[in-house]
Amino acid sequence: MKKLLIVYHSQGGGTRKMADAVLAGAQEETGVETRMRPALEADVEDLLGTDAVIFGTPENFGYMSGALKDFFDRTFYPAQGKVDQLPYALFVKCSNDGSGAVFNIERIAKGYPLRRVAEPVVHQGDVDQTILDRCHELGHTLAAGLALGIF
Ligand SMILES: Cc1cc2nc3c(=O)[nH]c(=O)nc-3n(C[C@H](O)[C@H](O)[C@H](O)COP(=O)(O)O)c2cc1C
């Protein structure tokens, strides 16, 4: 069975709501096993053991959260060369921007190197049903792509 990993961080709960919707969307695909891990608990074994990964983070100070950066710091050298072209996607929760988080996640991902397979989902402001639906779709898209062997 194909495996999908969601690695996220949330301080105030907004990104967590988005992550839950991504997970629900992914779990609609029965042929894929999806796991969700907080960034501070996720490790290189999680990354090496998955067929695709979705990163979720708030934008903090024009960057990703320190927790997601810590995940990249801890896994970069151990995973480098072992996850070549692993499909990934990302979602970002922010107040008014989000571009710094997206830019820097994409820059780091190129180093592993991972392969982005969906447009980033960026949401400014309160979590509403529209963004939850987009997150649900993101999770389902990744899982369906794995199940169908598209990625
Ligand atoms: C320390 C800190 C820095 C932040 N920096 C930014 C920022 O650079 N750009 C932005 O749009 N929002 C910024 N925000 C707002 C958060 O991205 C926003 O509140 C987000 O919804 C938090 O997600 P969470 O509820 O999952 O923790 C910042 C919030 C905090 C606490």
Q: What is the pLDDT of residues 19-70, one digit of tens each?
A: 999 999 999 999 999 999 999 999 999 999 999 999 999 999 999 999 999 9
DSSP 57-109: EEEETTEE-HHHHHHHHHHHHHHTTTSTTEEEEEEEEESS--HHHHHHHHHHH
Give me the pLDDT at residue 107, please.
98
Give me the pLDDT at residue 42, please.
98
pLDDT tens for each residue of 64-102: 999 999 999 999 999 999 999 999 999 999 999 999 999
Overall size of the chain counted in residues: 151
Give me the pLDDT at residue 5, please.
99
> Of the residues 15, 94, 127, which should be mutated to test ligand 1's pocket, given the most ligand atoms within 8 Å of the CB?
94
d(Cα 97, Cα 62) in Å, to the nearest integer? 8
Amino acid 144 reads A
Give me the pLDDT at residue 65, please.
98
pLDDT tens for each residue of 110-146: 999 999 999 999 999 999 999 999 999 999 999 999 9
Tell which atom from ligand 1 comes closest to the C-alpha of 100. 8
Domain count, the chain: 1
Range of the domain at 44: 2-147
pTM (two decimals): 0.98
What CATH number is associated with residue 103? 3.40.50.360
How far, in Å, is the centroid of ligand 1 from the Cα of 14?
Answer: 10
Ligand 1 pocket at CB < 6 A: 10-16, 58-62, 93-98
